[in-house]
Chain A
Amino acid sequence: MRSLLNFLLRYKTLILFLILEAVALVMISSSHNYHQSVAYGAARNISGFVAKRIENGHSYFRLRQVNQELAAENLQLRRRIEKLETVHKPALTAVGDSASGIRYNYLSARVINNSVNKQKNFITLDRGSRHGVTTGMGVASSTGVVGVIVGVSRNYSVAMSLLNTDFKLSASIARNDYFGSLAWNGRNYRYAQLSEIPHHVVISEGDTIVTSGYSAIFPPGLMVGTLTGDLKKGGDFVTLKVLLSADFKKLTDVYLIGNLTRHEREAVEEEVTNE
């Protein structure tokens, strides 16, 4: 007993070191699903509160640009309404047709904490469960896809940024609908990589990349970015460089996209794959 005590006293620094590192590692490994933890939820409420105060100051300096982007998006939406009204007028006025029912709902949110300089970037938003945010909602800005909600507290939510090496997005080339998997390699925050595009697909620089709609998170046709750089080929599949249309360095206003029929869709998909 005495020698055990002596041993502990002698190596107390080493033992404390190992304990603290073990605690840190447990925190890291549990942070992959940390949105479920109540303790971290509390921590997020505190840090979210501080981050919101800071962001309040920051946002004034970006108002001009945000206005311009919103005006541009409004214009684009107006054009789309115009087109739809002329082409699909009967479809829009039809009632009782569940196929034309609303599939997605939208919520606006403000970015109160964001980073682009880590390998695993997250974005904190000022909307939480109180406002109807749930995990798995998509996040997009007026310029393009931004991320997916992974954690929600009462007043705040945290989205996994597209600039997170764990993030995967099903995206397709708008021109010919070939789809692949979009991910970020952790280097330049302006570019992501679109892989699994078959070798024979004809592509050219500047082709638009949009969401494919194959995951239940984003509606199809949402802007992601444009093809850029060398379109080198090799093997059966090519990996393409995509210039992201959302500038993550100046994200301020985003909207959240909830798929109203997501659970129904996932249930039926699971039912089939389990057989």
Chain B
Amino acid sequence: MNRTLHYVISFVVLIVLQLLIFNNIQFSGYVNPYVYVMFILILPMAIPSWILLLLSFMTGFVIDIFSGTMGVHAFATVMAGFVRPWVISLNVTAEASEPEASPSSKTSGLRWFFIYTVTVVFIHHLSLFFIEVFSFSNFFHTLLRVLLSTAVTTFFIVLFDIIRPRR
């Protein structure tokens, strides 16, 4: 119960941060960090994949409602939720942490957490930005936006992970 509450609070905090701060960050149209993806990243290691998918969809849907982009974020978060178990399995460390634990740099090491974050965030941003433009014209322009935004989002997520309170 305590754990559920912890996740509900994380969800609300991340959504509010995204809407009030990160949606307003913009450097000449190239960098749009979407830090709310962190909610999908910190769900427990062994969460059943169908719950993960539903929670991912919900996260994207909430962001969609508040930014008036029906379905765009939902599409990208479901993509991120789908690849997450796969990224974790590709990337297991020797000290495979207990299934209940939330993936973090403290339990699995900074290097592991960074690779894990950057992969999922990249896939999320890739689907998000291309679905948003809905075309492959200007391919490299969009790809550059994906890469720059991925870097900034990853930076903030790793930073938040380091400063986030331990349960």
Using CB atoms and an 8 Å cutoff, list the residues of chain A in contact with chain B.
12-13, 16-17, 20-21, 23-28, 30-31, 34, 40, 43-44, 46-47, 50-51, 54, 113, 115-120, 122, 124, 158, 165, 186-189
Give the residue of A24, A54, A119, A122 whose beta carbon is less than 8 angstroms from that of B132.
Answer: A119
Beyond A16-B54, A24-B75, A118-B69, 7 additional pairs, beta carbon < 8 A = A21-B78, A116-B29, A117-B23, A186-B141, A188-B28, A188-B29, A189-B29
Contact of A46 among B50, B53, B54, B65 (CB under 8 A): B65
Bound CA span A115–B32, Å: 11
CB <8 Å contact, B68 and A116: no
Tell whether, in the assembled complex, residue A47 and residue B65 are in contact, meaning their CB atoms are under 8 Å apart.
Answer: yes
Closest residue on chain A to residue B28 by CB atoms:
A188
Q: B133, A186: Cβ atoms under 8 Å?
A: yes
CB neighbors of A among B105-151 (8 A):
131-134, 138, 141
Given known A-B contacts A21-B79, A25-B75, A118-B132, A113 and B28 have beta carbons under 8 A apart: no
Provide the bound-state CA to CA distance between A18 and B107, in Å: 32
Contact of A26 among B20, B29, B71 (CB under 8 A): B71
CB contact between B82 and one of A17, A46, A117, A186 (< 8 Å): that residue: A17
- Known contacts A21-B79, A189-B29: A40-B70 contact under CB 8 Å: yes
Shortest CB–CB separation between residue A119 and chain B, in angstroms?
5
Shortest B85–chain A CB gap in Å is 8
Distance, CA A122 to CA B68, complexed state (A): 7
- Verify A186–B29 contact, CB threshold 8 A: yes
B14 within 8 A of A: no
B71:A27 contact, CB within 8 angstroms: yes
User: How far is it, in angstroms, between the C-alpha of A27 and the C-alpha of B131 when the chains are bound?
Assistant: 12
A-B contacts counted at CB < 8 A amount to 90
**Chain B count of residues within 8 A CB distance of the other chain:** 35
Main secondary structure of the interface of A (DSSP, over half): helix
- Bound form: Cα–Cα A142–B133 in Å: 30
Name B's A-contacting residues (CB within 8 A).
Answer: 19-20, 23, 25-26, 28-29, 32, 49-50, 53-54, 56-57, 60, 64-72, 74-75, 78-79, 82, 131-134, 138, 141
Q: Is the CB of A27 within 8 A of B53?
A: no
Closest 5 CB pairs of A and B: A27-B71, A24-B75, A28-B71, A31-B70, A117-B26
Task: Name A26's closest neighbour in chain B (CB-CB).
Answer: B71
Partner of B71, one of A12, A25, A122: A25
A119–B19 alpha-carbon span in the complex (Å): 17
Alpha-carbon gap, A118 to B24, bound state (A): 11
State whether B53 touches A16 (Cβ < 8 A).
yes
Contact A20 B138 (CB under 8 A): no
B71 touches A43 (CB 8 A): no
Give the complex CA separation of A26 and B71 in angstroms: 8
The CA of A124 and the CA of B75, in the complex, are separated in Å by 23
- Pairwise interchain contact A47-B29, C-beta atoms closer than 8 A: no
In the complex, what residue of chain A is closest to B127 when comparing beta carbons? A21
A44 touches B53 (CB 8 A): no
